[in-house]
Amino acid sequence: MTACRLEPCIKLPLSEEKLRESVDKAKDWTLMHGISKRSMKNYSKDQVQLLPFTLIPSSFPQKPFLIVKNVQVLLNQLIHKVAYDKEFLTNSLKSTIQTDSFTAKLFRIYETVYEEGFSQNISLGLLRSDYLLHDDCKIKQVEINTIAASFAALATITSQYHKYILGELGYTKEANERIPENNAIIGFCEGLVRAWELYNNTEAIILFIVEDVTYNISDQRFHEFQIRQLCPKIKIIRRSLTSLTLEEVKLGPNKELIVANMIVAVVYYRSGYELEAYPTEKEWDIRLLIERSRAIKCPSVQYHLAGTKKVQQSLAQSSVLKKFLKDETSVARVQEIFTGLYTLDFNEDGEKAIEMGISKPNKFVLKPQREGGGNNIYNENIKTWLSSMRDSQERTAWILMDRIYPPLQKNYLIRAVEDPSLEDNFDLLEVITELGVYGVIIGDSNNIIVNKQVGHILRTKASSEDEGGIVAGVGALDSPYLIS
């Protein structure tokens, strides 16, 4: 299927001289402002390298951009209500937890703390809802992330970079008018600070749960630095689930979470969304202990479950939306951005979806209940996978989604040089873009305390790529240049 085209924000290609001059400036600006990671090939705590980024911002239609920016508070509200509805979570996930061990373990933790009674009823959600344009420039949601929604910091800096580079190319006025303000990092960090304030203990700390080896270090650290600017008295510590021990992590007499002899007000997960973060039962015991505590979790286990693919598939039904969003206007606005999501359960709908996927695999994406990218199935492989697990319970851990073919445009993708013998690391490519919108929500089972949209990110990749991980080096950081 062929997608329609968008014109780049400036005339391309650039002359050889202008291109090389611009790339040199771009590399220095982005590296000196923190658009960087630690190398996965030559890891060192003393060195960082460029994260992939686009030389210029990518064109993006203004109308769909504003539609999804304005609908984010409804999506925040929807996820919050879902997270606090045990019956809905249980019914949505009953087939998934039979076949997906990771979701099953999360659900057991949820059931345990639900039955014991939550020590902390407040949850903090730092969310990112991801979208692709249809070839007719409508916009459809790909997924919503409720745990470790990344790049709020680097998205903010990328918007600043693109204003700089367009100015260097002679388009200062257009850059100021067409690149929207983006304060995602401030929004996320204000959410973390507000949760810390709600805990109401000025001596308490914020705990970041991170990977054993963190490559995406700049994005994570900028959160810490921004929190310090907003509230200098807050102390932040970083731990991985594997480094924490049951001797170091304790519950106090009033269910306080105590780590390294300090009371934790907020636990912010930048890891813990995939099975590899839990190599032994000890890590699951730590996760349960954290959930039993009075610390405010981002996300709480019920928020984590509310972000699963299977729950998103359940929400695609209009009757379900009406349960959580009471007025028809809100339901219609959310329905407008949902794409087709289909269950693979052993029922009539599931059989119909299996037939659709096998007969027209290019029209769909097959998605497992896994986070972190690189797990989806495309094209003829869908037919193979669906045929092989048609009679297996395994299929219930997957969903089928309508495939979206977004419009193409040209842009230069710039990457770090891993091989010193290669002089060039930029190409003018046919690319497609994925928009992410960030949201912050804080509340409990009865009240929503904070609910706002706080910023956005554009992630761009070559149109020939199926997956688009930025840290993995496939996708690139980008900004929208709004067009009418």
Check pLDDT > 70 for residue 476.
Answer: yes
Of 183, 220, 191, 216, nearest to 456 (Cα)?
183
Report the catalytic residues: 128, 143, 145, 150, 309, 367, 371-372, 459
pLDDT tens column, 191-201: 999 999 999 99
Average pLDDT over residues 124-142: 92
Our CA dihedral for 241, 247, 251, 257, rounded to 10 degrees, sits at -40
Convert 250-273 to b/e letters by CB count within 10 Å (16 or more is b).
ebeeeebbebeeebbbbbbbbbbb
> What's the N-to-C CA distance of the chain in angstroms?
25
Q: In this predicted structure, what is the pLDDT of residue 381?
A: 94
Contact 166, 175 (CB under 8 A): yes
Provide the annotated binding site: 128, 143, 145, 220, 309, 367-376, 378, 401-404, 434, 459, 461, 467
Check pLDDT > 80 for residue 385.
Answer: yes
Under the banding of pLDDT at 50, 70 and 90, the label for residue 2 is low
H/E run at residue 355: helix 348-359
Q: In this predicted structure, what is the pLDDT of residue 90?
A: 97
Check pLDDT > 70 for residue 19.
Answer: yes
Q: In this predicted structure, what is the pLDDT of residue 268?
A: 98
Residue type, 10: I
Under the banding of pLDDT at 50, 70 and 90, the label for residue 374 is low
pLDDT tens column, 25-68: 999 999 999 999 999 888 999 999 999 999 999 999 999 999 99
Q: Kindly report, as residue ranges, where domains of CATH 3.30.1490.50 are found in the chain.
A: 340-403
Check pLDDT > 60 for residue 421.
Answer: no
Under the banding of pLDDT at 50, 70 and 90, the label for residue 352 is very high
Average pLDDT value for the chain: 94
Check pLDDT > 80 for residue 425.
Answer: no
**190 φ/ψ angles, rounded to the nearest 5 degrees:** -60, -35
484 burial type by CB count under 10 A (0-12 exposed, 13-18 middle, 19+ buried) = exposed
Provide the annotated binding site for ATP: 143, 309, 367-376, 378, 401-404, 434, 461, 467
Q: In this predicted structure, what is the pLDDT of residue 440?
A: 98
Instruction: Give 340-403's CATH code, choosing from 1.10.630.10, 3.30.1490.50, 2.40.50.140, 3.30.1330.10.
Output: 3.30.1490.50
Judged by average pLDDT, the poorest of 47-51, 125-129, 247-251, 373-377 is 373-377
